[in-house]
Chain A
Amino acid sequence: MRRVEAMGRKSWAWTTPIFHLHRASCIALLTLAFVGTVADAEDKSTASRGSVQAKLSYCKDCHGASAQGYPGFFPIPRLAGQQPEYLKNQLRAFIEHRRTNNVMFNVAHSLSPELMSALAANFKALNPAPVGGAPRRFIAEGKKIFEDGLPEANIAACAACHGPDATGTGEIPRLAGQLYPYVTKTLTNWGKERGQNPTEPDTSAIMSPVAHSLSKSQIEAVAAFVSYLR
């Protein structure tokens, strides 16, 4: 319509058949293009419902009915509310053996990228209460380390990257509500489990100096603190 106006009020272009034909074909093309895109999106970038639901239920057998995590013989981490980019990076790290875990290698290596995206999106949407159970006497010290860091040990505040509410962002994981035994074990064993391919350093390298510099009681404190965050 604007072009018609620009041509001047007295333009009669809009009454001509060619104008209407042009407009109709534009609309038709745009509609086809839009529908085509949506259809492609459904076919290519989302996995079929059946397999997503089955796989999700499988994940939840270990990670909990609401993906809240579970303190089994080996602590199984919370996935609820986790950053999708972080989750997908970890799944790839398991597959490529950059992160050592025999069970998760088996789980991950048969997942397609589409399925990984669908699973990660499902987990992001969950928000159960934290499992809890960590010693409460550690929380105060943990909060201090989380918010202020340990300048004398050259350790930045966790909040600086993980966010003031520990929900993470992008490839930086959510820590809020994560299991206490899982966080303590992860920080303690960082170099043994993550970044296992020295020729292919990954984002785990960022945490390596932090994990190494924290003392046992500092690890316990910060793990207890984040475990209660909602």
Chain B
Amino acid sequence: MRPILFKILTAALAGSALAAVAAHAENPAVRNCTWCHGVSAHGYSPAPGLAGQQYQYLANQLADFRTHSRDDPFSKQYMWGATENLSASSARDLAMYFSKLPSKPSNDGDAEVVAMGRTIYQEGMPDSNIVACVVCHGPNAEGLGQIPRLGGLAYSYLKRRLEQWAEGYDAAAGPPMPDISRKLSTAQINALASYLSFIK
């Protein structure tokens, strides 16, 4: 009698767990995000991929959209409104949900300049006072805590972010990204964005 009861209970639990995951993906708040960010949250231009992004980074961005401290044009146009009525606990839930999804590389950079991008990322360019991104962002551009994953994000998104810091947007995020970005040439930005877009 007992083994059967155990099997029934296990099956019921498993069933309800599966139902919870499926319900979460169908959760209205999540669907509001995936409209733009893609069904599997891998991004759909201009919205960046969210799958596999660092939890703390996502949570911070949602807060920065709400306070308007992240003020680049697309953020202002889309994300300020999207987060206007987002509660802190919902923001945390969403950030946690997306951080656990499997990431996928965009693979849309310029293959010709990947080598230059790899050099800048892994070694920096000390003679131009450009730091090696790897020190903060990790050997596989996976990020940590409030430092974002860059690996696999879309070429156009990465390029745009670097250019925007140099233009003075998102200054409230604080050093060092604005200072670093101002030192990068267009060719270097393109190379970095390309290299990163191919990282799994």
Listed in ascending order, the chain A residues whose CB lies under 8 Å from chain B are 54-55, 57-58, 60-62, 64-65, 70-74, 76, 102-103, 106-107, 109-110
- 6 CB < 8 A contacts A-B: A57-B179, A60-B175, A73-B144, A74-B136, A103-B132, A106-B132
- Is A62 touching B137 in the complex (CB atoms < 8 A)? no
- Is A73 touching B137 in the complex (CB atoms < 8 A)? yes
Question: Per a CB cutoff under 8 Å, which of A57, A64, A103, A109 touches B135?
Answer: A103
Question: Per a CB cutoff under 8 Å, which of B136, B175, B180 touches A73?
Answer: B136
CB-nearest residue of chain B relative to A75? B135
- Is B136 touching A62 in the complex (CB atoms < 8 A)? yes
Contact of B85 with A by CB under 8 A = no
Interface size (B, Cβ < 8 Å)?
A: 24
Neighbouring B residues of A54 by C-beta, 8 Å: 129
Contact of B84 with A by CB under 8 A = no
Listed in ascending order, the chain B residues whose CB lies under 8 Å from chain A are 123-124, 126-127, 129-132, 134-139, 142-145, 147, 174-176, 179-180
Neighbouring B residues of A74 by C-beta, 8 Å: 134-136
Neighbouring B residues of A72 by C-beta, 8 Å: 135-137, 144, 147
Docked complex Cα distance between A64 and B135 (Å): 13
- Is A58 touching B134 in the complex (CB atoms < 8 A)? no
Docked complex Cα distance between A57 and B180 (Å): 9
Given A106-B123, A110-B126, A61–B179 Cβ distance below 8 Å?
Answer: yes
**Smallest Cβ distance from B48 to chain A, in angstroms?**
20
- Is A58 touching B131 in the complex (CB atoms < 8 A)? yes
- Is B129 touching A55 in the complex (CB atoms < 8 A)? yes
Q: A62-B135, A73-B144, A73-B147 are in contact. List 20 more A-B contacts (CB 8 A).
A: A55-B129, A58-B130, A58-B131, A61-B176, A61-B180, A62-B136, A62-B176, A64-B175, A65-B175, A65-B176, A70-B136, A71-B145, A72-B147, A73-B134, A73-B137, A73-B143, A76-B136, A103-B123, A106-B124, A107-B124
Neighbouring B residues of A110 by C-beta, 8 Å: 126-127
- Is B132 touching A73 in the complex (CB atoms < 8 A)? no
- Is A73 touching B129 in the complex (CB atoms < 8 A)? no
Neighbouring A residues of B137 by C-beta, 8 Å: 72-73
Docked complex Cα distance between A60 and B179 (Å): 10
- Is A106 touching B143 in the complex (CB atoms < 8 A)? no
- Is A106 touching B138 in the complex (CB atoms < 8 A)? no
- Is B135 touching A60 in the complex (CB atoms < 8 A)? no
Question: Per a CB cutoff under 8 Å, which of A58, A65, A76, A103 touches B129?
Answer: A58
CB-nearest residue of chain A relative to B129? A58
